[in-house]
């Protein structure tokens, strides 16, 4: 079967992926070929920046066991090199890759042309599924005009032996598009959108990996000889139901308070360590409910997505949390402290 025909074989939804999916990221143009030019920017630079950011996100997703999926990533170029279309395809076919994603930005003779469009070689294929999800996520992330999903006989779509898609996130020649994309925040949003599209394509929920979600810092022993331990029912999301933040290992019927900050720290505090930095936020005090033993109390409260938004948190940012509870038996330092908890906010 010809390679061009191979690209069109597939079904409308992606099959179950291997444990690790091999993805080739293809930053279009490069070297002596700048691609589209407009508003003081060259397409080749934006293509590469998005690809590098997406590679880092996929690597972080692989390392973060809390969600997402696992990937091996190969770039057709990792700098300002000239790479032929044939070389890009040959690299992907020889590896061999499971998916191929070519990253581009549009251009036109008129600055009025604008918006986002994404291509595959044919409709009704696995490549078309990746194309459709990439278009959806780019529109959500960038908010530009929807130019639709399309088919095209582009060389990198027709000659790759694996499902492939090609994105045109916006127009280099349109000032409005570049006001959104042509900056650090826009390029990061574009890379994250493509991460979410790839995750959804393999059946995973959109997940933004964090560098170090989990507990850190040192808890302070309470008078019953138990260490209060912080926990979370899930990672907080800006769109999902609230998550529960707990503290175990406290005496029953003990008042506790959950502290939060946007930054971690390690400061002396009531004979223990304050794991979060000023300025501190405070949730309403709660009374621990007993379940067993002298340290069988449980403190719990909820992180609500509406509250996260009102406090200025966004997807990818972190919130740092720590519980304390009153413990008069500790004498001059009547406070016991849990360890700290970093949670990366999800979309």
Catalytic residue among 43, 168, 190, 248: 168
Q: Which residue has the tokens 């790759």?
A: 160
Q: Which residue has the tokens 């002396």?
A: 268
Q: Is 266 exposed, middle or buried (0-12, 13-18, 19+ CB in 10 A)?
A: middle
Cβ proximity of 119 and 157 under 8 Å = yes
Provide Rg for the chain, Cα atoms.
25
| Interhelix angle 43-63/184-201, nearest 10 degrees | 50
The yes-or-no answer on residue 218 being catalytic is no
CA distances 107 to 41, 42, 52, 119, 331, Å, are 11, 10, 22, 15, 71
Signed CA dihedral, 315, 206, 92, 47: sign only? negative
Q: d(Cα 51, Cα 26) in Å, to the nearest integer?
A: 7
| Closest C-alpha among 228, 217, 252 to residue 340 | 217
CA 299 vs. chain centroid, Å, equals 30
- The residues that are catalytic are 168
């Amino acid at each position: 079967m010809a390679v061009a025909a191979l690209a069109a074989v597939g079904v409308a939804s992606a099959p179950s992926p291997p444990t690790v999916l091999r993805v080739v990221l293809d930053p279009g143009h490069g070297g002596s070929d700048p691609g589209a030019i407009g508003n003081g920017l060259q397409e080749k630079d934006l293509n590469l920046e998005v690809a590098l950011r997406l590679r880092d996100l996929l690597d972080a997703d692989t390392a973060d066991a809390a969600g997402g999926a696992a990937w091996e990533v190969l770039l057709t170029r990792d700098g300002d090199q000239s790479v032929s279309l044939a070389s890009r395809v040959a690299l992907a076919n020889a590896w061999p890759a499971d998916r191929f994603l070519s990253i581009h930005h549009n251009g036109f003779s008129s600055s009025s042309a604008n918006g986002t469009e994404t291509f595959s070689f044919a409709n009704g294929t696995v490549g078309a599924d990746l194309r459709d999800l990439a278009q959806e996520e780019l529109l959500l992330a960038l908010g530009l005009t929807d130019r639709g999903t399309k088919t095209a006989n582009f060389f990198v779509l027709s000659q790759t032996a694996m499902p492939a898609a090609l994105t045109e996130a916006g127009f280099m020649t349109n000032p409005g598009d570049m006001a959104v994309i042509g900056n650090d925040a826009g390029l990061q949003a574009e890379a994250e959108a493509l991460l979410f599209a790839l995750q959804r394509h393999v059946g995973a929920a959109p997940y933004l990996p964090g560098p170090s979600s989990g507990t850190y810092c040192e808890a302070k022993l309470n008078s019953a000889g138990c260490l209060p331990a912080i926990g979370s029912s899930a990672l907080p999301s800006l769109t999902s139901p609230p998550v529960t933040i707990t503290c175990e290992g406290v005496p029953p019927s003990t008042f506790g308070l959950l502290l939060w900050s946007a930054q971690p720290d390690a400061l002396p505090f009531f004979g223990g360590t304050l794991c979060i930095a000023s300025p501190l936020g405070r949730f309403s005090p709660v009374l621990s409910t007993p379940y067993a033993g002298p340290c069988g109390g449980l403190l719990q409260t909820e992180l609500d997505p509406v509250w996260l938004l009102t406090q200025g948190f966004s997807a990818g940012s972190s919130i740092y949390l720590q519980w304390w509870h009153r413990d008069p038996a500790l004498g001059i330092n009547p406070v016991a402290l849990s360890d700290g908890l970093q949670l990366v906010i999800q979309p």
